[in-house]
A and B are shown apart, each in its own frame.
Chain A
Amino acid sequence: MAEAIKNKGHLAHAGHGSHGGDHGHGHDHHDQEEMKTFGFWLFLITDVILFGTLFATYVVLRNNFAGGPLGSDLIEMSGIIASTFILLTSSFTSGIALLEMNKGNKKGLITWLIITALLGASFIYLEVNEFIHLVHEGANIGTSAYWSAFFTLVGTHGLHVTVGLVWMTAIILQIRRRGITPVTKRKVNIISLYWHFLDVVWIFVFTIVYLMGVM
């Protein structure tokens, strides 16, 4: 396997294998998969800033109901708590998927990824339902600044989860076809990182938007 990583990895420095051992600098072994994971961490930083900005706008506009309905009037916490549990569980199942992958269990990996994706899909289903409910109750994105900020922040998180679902499906198909290779391994690692990240963001959404804003 180490050999496989080497072959896949040395995009930039195919030549240095021969002298790599001679001087032992830490950043000598920059293999491609490791770099992609590092790049993804940087992407997550930008996503943190993105959500941070959305949270900031939400906080600035949180009391601007403009005479329209208040958040606490319309939002039903029971559904939110249920979807929170679903998302947290999916984070857990994606962790199990990772463990299965590290054991080399392709079937287990695929099964747990599918469970994760299904949980994610039900989260999205609940969120869409919630939005439809709110719109029926008379709160849409144009109702007031509060609702603009609410729908945008929560919706952006939902959009991230949706993108994650499409991506996860694509990865499941790739694992089925190719098995556990350094490349698919890296892909699973990255999507699970992404999934945990969305979970963390949701905890902030839950706390700031729902707990502090509604209750």
Chain B
Amino acid sequence: MRRNYRMLAAGLFLAMVFLLSGCSEQYIVLDPKGPIGQSQKDLIIISTVLCAVIIVPVLIMTAVIVWRYRDRPGSKAKYKPNWEHNTKLEVTWWSIPIVIIIILAAVTINYTYKLEPSRAIESEKAPITIQVTSMDWKWLFKYPGEDIATVNYVKFPEDRPVRFQLTSDTAMNSFWIPQLGGQLYSMSGMAMTLYLQADEQGSYYGSGANFNGKDFAQMTFKADAVSQEEYDAWIQEVKKDAPALTMDGYKELQKPGRSDVQLFSSFPEGLFEQIVTQYVEEGSTGAHAHHGASSDTSKNEGSSKNNDSETNTADASDQHNGHAGH
């Protein structure tokens, strides 16, 4: 009886959760606006259903068994104190989870290859490349094709794959726009590739998902998907009105601290490559600046990336000065 109360409480509570939260639009992970997010949502639903197939009966069974076999005067339930083994039963419940896990594993493996973040999204349109750098504590976006840069704000056209290249200038972070798709770590000394695409126009929430120090919570940004025309107009506008990002300006950005949205009409050429290879000794052969996450050897590459590296003295001292602040 107590159990039933408890189940009831839990059920009521879940209902309350959904009521309180109001409309489902707030569940942004379950309200994807792009092909990657959509596939991930499908996968979430498939795996939930597969698990529920086994979980729900178990929960019901628990309630029934606890209720039926409770000790009470005049109970008619069977009592077999030495009944401890039944091969058929045990084989059954070894097999059920095995079967479910085999199915789930097959689905997972399939999707793992399909949704490998560095795998290009099929589209007639050429992808647009945006280079993303996580810094203390802001996001820097650079558009190498358009030669503009932004801070804590990113805009791209709808219906066109975006190829994000991720790196970090300090501690690791994780780049996440939930409505477009899952996250990927941004790591120093590496350039990771993440393909995303927005199928409809909208203003999407983006954030850093991996803790990287004091003002981590300030690393949120807006990702706007707009029409191609609007996007082109915005580029022109930024090019016309915004100041240029100079190397000194970048040094300023490197200083730990939060930042508002900033727009820049240009940025120093090769800045992203410089950030990625800043720990590689000059003139060494170790600069695999653009290795993606495409192969399972990428982690080795990641370490070999650093292989021949030596601190570029100037950069390194900057680095340390920067950190001294917090």
Contact = CB atoms under 8 A, between A and B. Distances in A.
A64 interface: yes
Nearest to B281: A67
Nearest to A64: B307
Contacts of A52: none
Nearest to B279: A66
B303 A66 contact: no
Interface string A34-77: 00000000000000000000000000110111111000000000
User: Chain B contact residues: over half helix, strand or loop, or mixed?
Assistant: loop
B303 A60 contact: yes
Assign chain B's interface to a size class. Answer: 10 to 19
A63 B308 contact: yes
Interface residues of A, number: 10
Contacts of B311: 66
Interface string B283-326: 01000000000000000000110111111000000000000000
B306 A64 contact: yes
Contacts, number: 27
Contacts of B303: 60-61, 64
Contact of A145 (B281, B284, B306): B306
Nearest to B283: A67
A65 B311 CA distance: 11
Contact of A68 (B304, B306, B307, B310): B310
Contacts of B284: 67
B310 A66 contact: yes
Interface in B59-97: none
A66 B307 CA distance: 7
A207 B307 CA distance: 22
19 contacts: A60-B303, A61-B303, A63-B304, A63-B307, A63-B308, A64-B303, A64-B307, A64-B309, A65-B308, A65-B310, A66-B281, A66-B308, A66-B309, A66-B311, A67-B281, A67-B284, A67-B308, A67-B309, A67-B310
